[in-house]
Amino acid sequence: MYGSFRDHLAAQLDDIRSQGLYKDERVITTPQDAHIGVTSGDEVLNLCANNYLGLAEHPDVAKAAHEGLDRWGFGMASVRFICGTQEIHKQLEQRLTDFLGTEDTILYSSCFDANGGLFETLLTAEDAIISDQLNHASIIDGIRLSKAKRLRYRNRDMQDLELQLKEAKDARFRLIATDGVFSMDGYIAPLADICELADRYDALVMVDDCHATGFLGPNGRGSHEYNDVVGRIDILTGTLGKALGGASGGYTSGRKEIVELLRQRSRPYLFSNTLAPCLAAGGLKALDLVTGSSELRDRLRENAAFFRDEMTRLGFDLLPGDHPIIPVMIGDAATAKAMADALLTKGVYVIAFSYPVVPEGLARIRTQMSAAHSREDLEFAVAQFAAVKQEMGL
């Protein structure tokens, strides 16, 4: 049987390659940082990691993780309700609750699991979920697991959201689901407007804040602080795998009763091993660094503003915004990949994003700024982008 199925798969893979959409995985030979080694033996400038605050290679976070490994062991070999809960897990949940300004928090092995275990636990066929059309795949997959009625609204379009809320008026409960920041574009969701509509139409609000927690807002709490709606969001999901250390681990934070029910019924929580204790220890230290000083957040904002200004001056097509995700729009998938490959030869590590990660015809090189980048790093990156643009006749 596998022979014919193998031929079917090979044809699909050939088609992906012919369209210029095949995604190669480059191998890094060093720890994650602003500068990384690749298998060619070269050191290159890393301009595409989610390492917003530069904590993935921060010595204090690494030290805390080592100490956590020594104190708490390598892994739990269990789920939370059997024998997989240590004091350090409860400490991290409380610290996240305090930091985010919520009522309670539950840890998951990833935010993908947090979103995957959310909707089917809380909602049934009597309810409705109204989801932004550009929401992350984990939200989409989580919603698919629920029997609730599904409606979509155009990205950040409040008029369309209101129409969908009216469409869902007969549902028992209505939940609006949105990314806090849309990772392919760097656009920030208008959460104040969403909360106003939620109040008007008696709906709950869920926000996936993976690309905001730790650096967006005056104190780095995330998109809800940036939009001045702390306390008005019912459910916040997020990750430790980006700004908060860059390892792995996710969470759902929000209303006390919601978190309590997730502990009882959420399948990824009940049936997946507990977050490794060394990751919890590193996450606690990352929160110490975020809350102890604004230095890293300030540097990140300055880096993003500088790179955006310089690239705009050189005539690159950038999506507007002030988030450290700065997409350089190319359009054609093959051209975007060729540009990313050319930049690597010049010492700049970037990746081309194309369908199905982004819509067809909207291929891009999504650059991401980090507090770990120096001004010299960014000046070098801008110069290499300019050189490749000229060489390719773009």
Kindly report, residue by residue over 302-359, the tens digit of the pLDDT: 999 999 999 999 999 999 999 999 999 999 998 999 999 999 999 999 999 988 888 8
**Based on the number of CB atoms within 10 Å of its own CB, is 25 exposed (0-12), middle (13-18) or buried (19 or more)?**
exposed
| Contact present, 236 and 214 (Cβ < 8 Å) | no
* pTM assigned to the model: 0.94
Confidence at residue 266, expressed as pLDDT on a 0 to 100 scale: 97
Task: Convert the pLDDT of each residue in 256-285 to its tens digit.
Answer: 999 999 999 999 999 999 999 999 999 999
What digits encode the pLDDT tens for the residues 20-51?
A: 778 778 889 999 999 999 888 889 999 999 99
Q: What confidence tier does 374 reach under pLDDT thresholds 50, 70, 90?
A: very high
Mean local confidence (pLDDT), 96-121: 98
* Nearby residues of 286 by Cβ (< 8 Å), 6 or more positions away: 53, 55, 58, 61, 214, 240, 243, 244, 245
Q: Is 242 a catalytic residue?
A: yes
Please list the alpha-helical segments (H only) found in 230-276.
256-265, 267-271
**DSSP reduced 3-state for 175:** strand
Instruction: Please give the Cα distance from 156 to 315 (Å, whole number).
Output: 27
Residue 183 known to be catalytic? yes
Among 58, 89, 211, 285, the one annotated catalytic = 211
pLDDT digits (tens, 9 = 90+) for 192-235: 999 999 999 999 999 999 999 999 999 999 999 999 999 999 99
Q: CA triplet 354, 359, 364: central angle to 5 degrees?
A: 40
pLDDT of 286 over the 80 cut:
yes
Question: Three-state SS for 197?
Answer: helix
Q: For 114-126, how does the pLDDT look when each residue is reduced to its tens digit (9 = 90+)?
A: 999 999 999 999 9
User: Are 181 and 209 contacting, i.e. CB atoms less than 8 angstroms apart?
Assistant: yes
Tell me the per-residue pLDDT of 57-94, one tens digit each, with 9 for 90 and over. 999 999 999 999 999 999 999 999 999 999 999 999 99
